[in-house]
Structure 1
Amino acid sequence: MKDFLKYLLATVIGLCIVGAIFTIIGIASIAGMVASSGTETTVKDNSVFVINLSGNVAERSQSNPMNQLLGDKFTTYGLNDILNSIRKAKEHEKIKGICLNAEAFVCPSASLQEIRNALLDFKESGKFVVAYGGNYSQSTYYLASVADKVAVNPQGSLAWHGLAAQSMFLKDLLDKVGVEMQIFRVGTYKSAVEPYTSTEMSPANREQTQAFVNSIWGQMVKNVSESRGIPADTLNALADRNMDFQPAEAYIQTGLADTLLYKDGMLAYLKQLTGTDEDDNLNTLYVEDMVNVQRNIPKDKSGNILAVYYAAGEIGDGALASDEGINSEQMINDLRRLREDENVKAVVLRVNSPGGSAYGSEQIWREVTLLKEKKPVIVSMGDYAASGGYYISCAADWIVAQPTTLTGSIGIFGVIPNAQKLLNDKLGIHFDVVKSNRLADLGDISRPFTEEEKNLVQGMVNKGYELFTKRCADGRKMPVEDIKKIAEGRVWTGEMAKDLKLVDELGGIDRAIAIAAERAEITEYTVMDYPKQEEFFLSLLNSTTDHYLSAGLKEQLGEWYEPFRIVKNLKNADHIQARMPFILTIN
């Protein structure tokens, strides 16, 4: 018995010691991560800024402490960090050029265009831009085409095949499980409900999708043609050949690329460009390094703030909002604080949203209207500013969009499931109800709607559409009749929307900031981003297993993450929606 107690005590003491050691190591690791994240990067002479075109791109970077603590490499770059890093590299005298390293890269078309324009601006400094890749995707080649020299691995490939937009349809699956989606909508082109009701695109949806695919592809061809000196007709002919499966030599022959090099050859070429001796190491910087490079500009002492507010993701209503998107309650509180802050002289509303809750969109619209009464509000549209995303944008003083932004989609729909067949026939579950009034159980998913109930819901959807089009008409200073002609739920690119007067100007976020400063009549100011991002420790405390798993799924699934996210959030979705088509993949 004494030996047992002795061994038990030794085990307990040992576990306590090991626990204490791990606790100390954990605290030291966290302290190290915090310290390293805020340490200023030292830039060495003759450095090259290497942009790894890999992972995913979001509007803003947000570090995930769970990933860092567990050692996982889920790579999601913030568009803001990429653009700021390119700008810093242009200004820094010790950085001689940029090398684009093409890998697997998930980045929507408008963000690609924003990065590409930043690279073109960088080239005006006279510094070099070169690109290298073993397997260029079409997206990475679109960026790489700005380079002074495009190099491909001799056994590599370069994707150039055109664009395709794909929608997923669930009707047959729902029929098999016994679920009928009861649909209420306004707008011939409001195709977000089609996945529930059809197995293919409607003629109207096919028409609008073909139009914006052609518009985006036209922009890509035009830009590549200008950079590579290849006629647009020739580029389309090459796409028809599907260059993905052509031998590497064909890329040189057609002018898509300039040279074939292995990695060691590319390294030698970069050393030559920077004047680095063959036996010395090449000095390189990456986006994560550039974030902590200080800009050599005078500090603003005016006290003027030009606020950039990021509204990214699906629009949710208050407590029901997804933590991956826009919480309407939080956003209106944030905008109210910006309205009341006398130091904030103008606001750039950066919208990257396919829409969402119609109710939440109306609340945000109201706060944008109040904000505009006090100070200039300029909208900068990202990849999407459609449906509810356009709703919250239309009241601004001025709207700037990229040519490939997807916007418009001015329409409303409602979806309420009828699971009677699933419950009764498949699962053998039956319900009975006692009610005080005739329509007390309206919306019960265990039975179909009556005609009276259908008319009530459709009436609410119609009312929402009338309000939406009025908001757009008032904001754009156009007759409601003119708005309705281009509404009907139709999606437009920024290029098309400008011709329709849904947007005012084509450009990126830098242009929107410049306009905001002009409207506020300020020449000295500090640009500040909102909402404020969480500090490391607070982010760690708020991290959950769900957040960690979502980050992992997004990294692994890439463009196919969206269907899973939408299904996950269905339980909290508002029944009346103003949003883009259900699932849309462009590649």
Structure 2
Amino acid sequence: MTVRSLLLLGCLAALMISLPAAAQASDSDEGSVTPTIKLVELVISADGGEDPRPQNPLGPSQRNFRLRLEQIRAIAADPSVNGVRLKVEGIPGLARSLDLLDEIEGLKAAGKLVVCYSEALERDDLLFASAADHLCVPPSGMIILNGLLAESMYFKQLLARFDASVEVLHIGDFKTAFEELARDGMSDGQRTTLQNILDEFWEQIVSTIADQRGMQRAELEQLFAQLIVSPELAQTAGLIDQVGYRDAFDAKVEALLGGEYELVEDYGDRTKEDIEKMLESPFALFALLPALLDPPTPEAPDQDYVAIVYATGAINSGESAVDWQGKVSSMGSETIVEALEAAADDEHCKAVVLRVNSPGGSALASDMIWRAVERTMQRKPVVSSMGSLAASGGYWISMGCTSIVAQPSTLTGSIGVVGMLPDVSKTLAANGIKVETVSAGPLGDALALMAHGPSEPLKAAMIGMMQATYDSFIIKVAAGRKLAPEQVSELAKGRVWTGRQAEENGLVDVLGGLVDSIDLACVLAGLDPASTPVFELPEPPNPLEQLQQSLGVMTQARSPFEQLLLGLGFGDALALAQRLVADPRPLHADSVQAVMPFTFVIR
């Protein structure tokens, strides 16, 4: 038996030992009378994971983003629930936040009281806290209001210390991907694009908070100009409703609800009684073990339904990859094509929602998915539902859909291509390493990057391939969006657009969220949105495979520099640079990238 197998069995044994103990835990005051007024705690977090989650038969429900939206709708429709207490622990990006805020408005429209208590409030927290009917901060609480800041890191000088460099080739004036590796500082095109994005985001954030609090925009911006705002001043300005400690807040909530209430922290999850029932037999754990290690594959409904195909992460050829938590870390064209073909072949599937959250990636892999979308549309409508990011390759796979839906803050467009050629020949020479080559045939040594860096024939071939890819991109956008190629050319050049701007320019059809996309797919298919079931693809990963992958990840050591980049929020840029630089092939099918033109962190 291998060490990995022993570790795996140890983890399972610990799980089996801990569950009975958890199930035997007794509730406090079991004999007390349960209040008839019910308040549900709704946690808002930064987890915006959308792909299907594997179900744990012994634990709490695992909800992806769609199911979290459905949970809020279920609360709104539940007559036994009187209100909701918001607990803001982070936000899942601006675009997904707008989806959640729509559902919170649905709670209020259904007559549910929405309250929030927070010891500290920051700009992003206020997006949700400001939606509360009653918002309270303690006298010693801190309210930090700052504008938006985008940060990008440039590594040319660092690479130069090791006599290394990167040559970036791009088609499109605003296609600035990988410039962080080739420049000392930000290009004018990138600065212009980032400024445009921040201005759009700022407008949406300020207008949302002001509208929800019934404030004038100028009044709110005056508070932002102070950076740190006292709770008393915030209450005077109408940003919050109460300055008080938790006991005073609880008393106020009781008064608003009309009496003592029961706080439900696990609405819709398995209860202690559910676990006890599963564990009544001493052999129950062994019976549940197969379902834990290898849960049954979800089956599509045997009635008319809408399929959601999740297209998440950077686009690569091959199969999708998942991280140790079971979340998709990269989108494989083979996986998405297979999911689209499954939906197209099922006669009960009447429409498809392609849910895109991707910065793009391989142009070739993007084109394979685009073709699968085209083939699916020959049999049923396909709606592209854009999340926070559907740019470059993410737009490529969406451009031919029957309809495209995006939030105003979605980042999309970026119609352009880029390639990167690293040069470490001087690094090797400086360290006493001489690379000799032997070749045969025309241009046999043209790809010898370690010997002499990128050659002129290699660069010429790359540029030719990139130009052909870019021209194909333009033509397909024009055909899918029913625009003149000349018009698309003006909208392209690698420029990133917000969803609002893309809708104005004809690159997007409708402004809305995931629920709106599903409803639209139902309407296009002649189905009733209120009663039509939804089936998610691709199928969720096997929990056993997740655990095995996590054991492998835990053995990987990172340098202090890598840890610094991860801590600063540049993990995605680090992973992409590592993958491209480490590829020993200077020219291959995925060399041309239709990828977001920059990596940045908004603070």
Return the TM-score normalized by structure 1: 0.84
TM superposition shift of 1:211: 1.2
Which residue is equivalent to 1:255?
238
Contact 2:163-2:424 within 8 A present in 1 as well = yes
State how 1:216-235 maps to structure 2 within 5 Å: 216-235=201-220
Alpha-carbon distance in structure 1 between the residues aligned to 2:392 and 2:236: 45
Distance 1:168 1:369 in 2: 39
Cα–Cα, structure 1 residues 403 and 320, in superposed 2: closer, same or farther, change >3 Å?
A: closer
C-alpha separation between the residues in 2 aligned to 1:195 and 1:208? Answer: 15
> Which stretch shifts more, 224-233 or 394-403?
224-233
Q: Is the 8 A contact 1:416 1:575 kept in 2?
A: no
1:8-23 matched pairs, under 5 angstroms: none
Which of the numbers 420, 424, 430 marks the counterpart of 2:425?
420
Q: 2:86 aligns with which of 93, 100, 106?
A: 100
1:338 alignment partner in structure 2: 343
- Residue 38 of structure 2 corresponds to 47
CA distance in 1, matches of 2:405, 2:21: 38
What do the CA deviations read for 1:372-398 (whole angstroms, capped 9, x no partner)? 111000011000000000000001000
Distance 1:249 1:330, change over 3 A: same
Give the conservation status (yes or no) of the 8 Å contact 1:401–1:508: yes
Gaps of 5+ in 1: 1-18, 37-42, 295-299
Task: Say whether the 8 Å CA contact 1:60–1:81 is kept in structure 2.
Answer: no
Classify 1:489/1:520 alpha carbon distance in 2 versus 1 (closer, same or farther; 3 Å): same
Q: CA deviation at 1:200?
A: 2.3
- Deviation of 1:255 after TM superposition, in Å, equals 1.8
Structure 2 CA distance for partners of 1:498 and 1:257, relative to 1, 3 Å? same
The residue that corresponds to 2:316 in the other structure is 316
Q: Which of 179, 183, 201 lines up with 1:198 in the alignment?
A: 183
**1:187-207 alpha-carbon deviations (Å, 9 max, x no partner):** 111121221222322122211
Matched, 1:390 2:395: yes
User: After superposition, where does 1:76-115 map in structure 2 within 5 Å?
Assistant: 78-103=64-89, 105-115=90-100
- Structure 1 residue 561 corresponds to structure 2 residue 561: no
Q: Write the distance in 2 (CA, Å) between the matches of 1:152 and 1:548.
A: 44
Aligned to 1:575: 591
Residue identity opposite 2:440 in structure 1? S
Q: Give the SS at the match of 2:269.
A: helix
Structure 2 residue corresponding to 1:209, chosen from 194, 199, 203: 194
**Which residue number in structure 2 is paired with residue 529 of structure 1?**
536
Q: Which residue pairs with 2:360 in the alignment?
A: 355
Q: Conserved in 2, the CA contact under 8 Å of 1:161 and 1:238?
A: no
- In the TM superposition, 1:65-464 aligns within 5 A as 78-103=64-89, 105-242=90-227, 245-277=228-260, 282-286=262-266, 289=269, 303-318=303-318, 324-425=329-430, 427-446=431-450, 447-464=452-469
Counterpart Cα distance in 2 of 1:507 and 1:320: 27
8 A Cα contact 1:47 1:274, kept in partner? no
Name the SS for the 1:150 alignment partner: strand
Offset at residue 49 of structure 1 (A): 2.0
Instruction: In structure 2, list runs of 5 or more residues that go unmatched.
Output: 1-6, 25-33, 275-299, 323-327, 558-562
Letter in 1 for 2:359: P
Query: C-alpha separation between the residues in 1 aligned to 2:21 and 2:602?
Result: 37
Distance 1:458 1:274 in 2: 67
SS at match of 2:139: strand
Indicate the structure with greater helix content. Answer: 1
For residues 577 and 236 of structure 1, what CA distance do their matches in structure 2 show? 40
> Hey, what's the Cα distance between the residues in 1 that align with 2:54 and 2:35?
26
Letter in 1 for 2:441: N
SS at match of 2:541: coil
Percent of pairs with identical residues: 30
* Greater Cα shift, 435-444 or 365-374: 435-444
Q: Tell me if the contact between 1:57 and 1:77 (Cα under 8 Å) persists in the aligned partners.
A: no
Q: How far apart are the structure 1 equivalents of 2:340 and 2:205?
A: 36
**Which shows bigger deviation, 362-371 or 231-240?**
231-240
2:601 is aligned with 1:585? yes
Q: 1:44, 1:541 → 2: CA distance?
A: 46
Question: How far 1:45 moved relative to its partner?
Answer: 4.4
The answer on whether the counterparts of 1:185 and 1:413 sit within 8 Å (CA) in structure 2 is yes
Alpha-carbon deviation of 1:585?
1.1
Quickly say closer, same or farther: Cα 1:413–1:253, change in 2 above 3 A: same
Offset of 1:272 from its aligned partner?
Answer: 3.9
| Counterpart secondary structure, 2:378 | helix
Distance 1:536 1:29 in 2: 19
Structure 1 residues 332 and 23, CA, compared in 2 at 3 Å: closer, same or farther? closer
